[in-house]
């Protein structure tokens, strides 16, 4: 998921309150606002989740020559909850394991080798995915022999 820092808010984005502007091509994303008061305290602490569907509820505004942004009031932003970080990490781990498995299977196909090393690496990667605590309740049956 993309992460962006907004330096300062839009003072009046047409909603008579402070807003942020996010280009649609950056969505979905997690945003933090680094704007501080005169005592150097963050005015808007925390991180905020902005999904494509959420952003579509707000008006577009053209910035510069060609970039259009969705202007979103800060008061409407949804605070980002940290458990998503764990999900992002888990998804990255799954991607890595799947890449290993696919790479091994590709090597077997390309070289037409009957390499037990490649088969073992692919099987280990796929087994880690299948035995993940996140797959509780999912029935996965093998149609091959070990």
CB distance 110 to 93 below 8 Å: no
DSSP lists the bridge partners of residue 71 as 21
Q: What is the pLDDT of residue 96?
A: 75
CB distance 90 to 57 below 8 Å: no
CB distance 72 to 32 below 8 Å: no
Q: What is the pLDDT of residue 67?
A: 82
Which residues of the chain are modeled with pLDDT < 70? Answer: 1, 13, 80-87, 104, 112-114, 130-146
DSSP lists the bridge partners of residue 23 as 69
Q: What is the pLDDT of residue 113?
A: 65
CB distance 97 to 127 below 8 Å: no
Q: What is the pTM of this model?
A: 0.54
Tell me how far CA of residue 115 lies from CA of 55, 118, 120, in angstroms: 50, 6, 9
Q: What is the pLDDT of residue 33?
A: 93
Give alpha helix (H) positions in 5-132. 52-55, 83-111, 116-130
């Amino acid at each position: 998921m993309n992460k962006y820092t907004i330096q300062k808010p839009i003072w009046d984005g047409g909603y008579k309150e402070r807003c942020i502007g996010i280009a649609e091509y950056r969505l979905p994303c997690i945003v933090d606002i680094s704007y501080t008061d005169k005592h150097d305290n963050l005015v808007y602490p925390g991180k905020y989740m902005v999904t494509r569907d959420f952003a579509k509820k707000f008006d577009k505004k053209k910035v510069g020559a060609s970039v259009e942004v969705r202007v979103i009031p800060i008061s409407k932003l949804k605070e980002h909850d940290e458990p998503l970080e764990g999900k992002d990490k888990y998804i990255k781990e799954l991607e890595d394991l799947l890449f290993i498995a696919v790479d091994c299977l590709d090597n077997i196909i390309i070289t037409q080798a009957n390499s037990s090393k490649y088969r073992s690496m692919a099987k280990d990667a796929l087994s880690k995915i299948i035995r993940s605590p996140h797959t509780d309740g999912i029935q996965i049956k093998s149609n091959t022999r070990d």
